[in-house]
Amino acid sequence: MAVQSKRDRPRGRSAEQNWTGNGAAAVSPLHRRLGNPESPVPELGGVCSYADAARPGLDVTETVALLKRHNWVETRLTDLFLTRLNSTPEWEVKGAFSLHLWLDAEHAKWVRERVAELRHPPHRFEQVPDPGLEAFLQEALRSRDTLEVLTAVYRVIKPALLDAYRVHQVAINPLADQPTRRILRFIVLEEEEMIEWGEQALESLLSTASDEEKARVSAWEAHLRAYLAAAGGLLGTERSSEEQLPASRATAEPTLQVDWIPRRDSRLESDNNEFPPHWVYAQRERPVKERMLALICKRLLEMDVPEMMAPIIWKTREQAKKAGKPKQWVYTADMARQVWDEARHSMLGEAWLVAHGIDWTQVPLNVGFSNGLNTLATPDEAHAALYWIEQGLMPRTTGKGYEYDVANEDGNPLAVVFQDFDWADEVLHVHIGRHIVEALGSRKEAERLGEEAFGRVMEARRRRQAEEGEEKHRPWWTAFCETAIGLTPAPLNDEVMASQDAPWKTE
């Protein structure tokens, strides 16, 4: 093979290189390019070479069909995360599900927005694009525990989805459909990261699983793969011969039964409703170190907000679907963003405690707030309660502004940044609250209903806690403060804690 001399070898992408994409070696006489012929100004805005642009690729109709399939899978993935978020006990998995819920909701949003630009109304995003694909995803929704969900999402669905995105990327005309290509690149990046997390999580949990559990997980993977194969793969292009499908779990459970009870793993105390930080942080006569620690504990507790929001989103969407007026995707996308923000606030607490050498699992993380609202209030009431709580965080001197001041007074730079972003997020959440304001007709009605529902649910919880007594709801704040910051706090005022207007709220 002749070796090119250095002088002959083109630098960068030369016109010649571009033209060799289709096998022709000659430089097209039409390529009169600007600048140095050996290193010309790249053509076509740097999007792609002439050769890449010369391959026709998918047309608009084909692209819309593919995007609708992607949308369907992303939508079902959000269903998986929403319906599993509460019942998944493993803390780190729950946090990742909150993030992945939002990422996949975003992916569905971008894909739908692109379809809307492609001249193909009506969009019918709620219509099943392929019964085989739907049967596969419905099967996955019936995963029974964390190992099965992780297997379904990160070993079967997402790797197949990633492949489908890659097939789409290759089949696209990069110039004609640059806007689709752009969103696919971002989606692929995030899907790769999610799969990597999922694989690590699964490996870690499987390494401590029994042989029986491992066999069950393998069987579930094979079960789902059979459904995926029957659908012809995610793109429906590899239809296999009629194989006998294993019996569907959807036969026994035609309407998905969701377990909304929030669960915690064995490291965490979840029944103890005693949570003095709700009062401590606001008592200005207490030392700033103690108030700061209280705020951090309140951050950590915020995982209960995703656990109240997941059922709100799911039930509201189901009701709307039944009424023949499906919710617009912006509802899911906005609410999923808030779910992730609240999980992230909880992670801020966790990260702060770890950074300060404090064992965060010593903080009881009760599920009383979310469970109370999930069982004793309607989805609209629960959402209104959330809106009312977040409105209450806005006044500068008592709300998030005060919390930020505490961090500054304490002189803790990490807490300052954490509270600063927490404050910014909460302002965004009041804006997202427009969804419940619109549903109820007015801000006034949302606030009225929210305050009423919150008061009613928390009163029921207070009564139950009084009945159950200290054995279940054991005091922990004094011992925790002593271990964490070497401070013995002043006694807590039981009367304040038992009063009606106590700020018994998360967030």
Give the interface with Fe ion as residue ranges (CB under 5 A).
74, 104, 107, 302, 342, 345, 426, 429, 507
Residue 397 CB burial class (10 angstroms; 0-12, 13-18, ≥19):
exposed
Alpha-carbon distance of 77 to 89, in angstroms, equals 19
Alpha-carbon distance of 53 to 21, in angstroms, equals 10
Beta carbon nearer to Fe ion, 184 or 293: 184
Shortest distance, position 102 Cβ to Fe ion, whole Å = 10
Alpha-carbon distance of 311 to 505, in angstroms, equals 18
In three-state secondary structure terms, 35 is strand
Q: What number of other Cβ atoms are within 10 A of residue 298's Cβ? A: 24
Beta carbon nearer to Fe ion, 27 or 188: 188
Shortest distance, position 251 Cβ to Fe ion, whole Å = 28
Beta carbon nearer to Fe ion, 75 or 151: 75
Beta carbon nearer to Fe ion, 108 or 147: 108
Shortest distance, position 429 Cβ to Fe ion, whole Å = 4
For residue 348, which of 381, 395, 299, 303 has the smallest C-alpha distance?
A: 299
Alpha-carbon distance of 340 to 312, in angstroms, equals 15
Give a three-class secondary structure readout of 220-264. HHHHHHHHHHHCCCCCCCCCCCCCCCCCCHHHHCCCCCCCCCCCC
Shortest distance, position 190 Cβ to Fe ion, whole Å = 7
Shortest distance, position 494 Cβ to Fe ion, whole Å = 27
Alpha-carbon distance of 476 to 276, in angstroms, equals 9
Shortest distance, position 287 Cβ to Fe ion, whole Å = 25
- For residue 469, what are its two tokens? 């007594």
Beta carbon nearer to Fe ion, 364 or 433: 433
Beta carbon nearer to Fe ion, 15 or 309: 309
Alpha-carbon distance of 154 to 206, in angstroms, equals 14
Alpha-carbon distance of 192 to 85, in angstroms, equals 21
Shortest distance, position 421 Cβ to Fe ion, whole Å = 10
Beta carbon nearer to Fe ion, 48 or 103: 103
Beta carbon nearer to Fe ion, 403 or 507: 507
Q: What number of other Cβ atoms are within 10 A of residue 416's Cβ? A: 16
- Close Cβ partners of 320 (under 8 Å, ≥ 6 residues apart): 326, 327
- Close Cβ partners of 91 (under 8 Å, ≥ 6 residues apart): 264, 265, 267, 268, 303
Beta carbon nearer to Fe ion, 101 or 175: 101
User: Are 28 and 16 within 8 A, CB to CB?
Assistant: no
Distances in Å between the alpha carbon of 433 and those of 214, 309, 387, 443?
Answer: 43, 12, 6, 9
Beta carbon nearer to Fe ion, 107 or 155: 107
Shortest distance, position 103 Cβ to Fe ion, whole Å = 6
Residue type, 353: L
Shortest distance, position 386 Cβ to Fe ion, whole Å = 7
Shortest distance, position 209 Cβ to Fe ion, whole Å = 27
Sequence-ordered alpha helix ranges (H) in 379-493: 379-391, 400-410, 413-432, 434-440, 443-468, 477-485
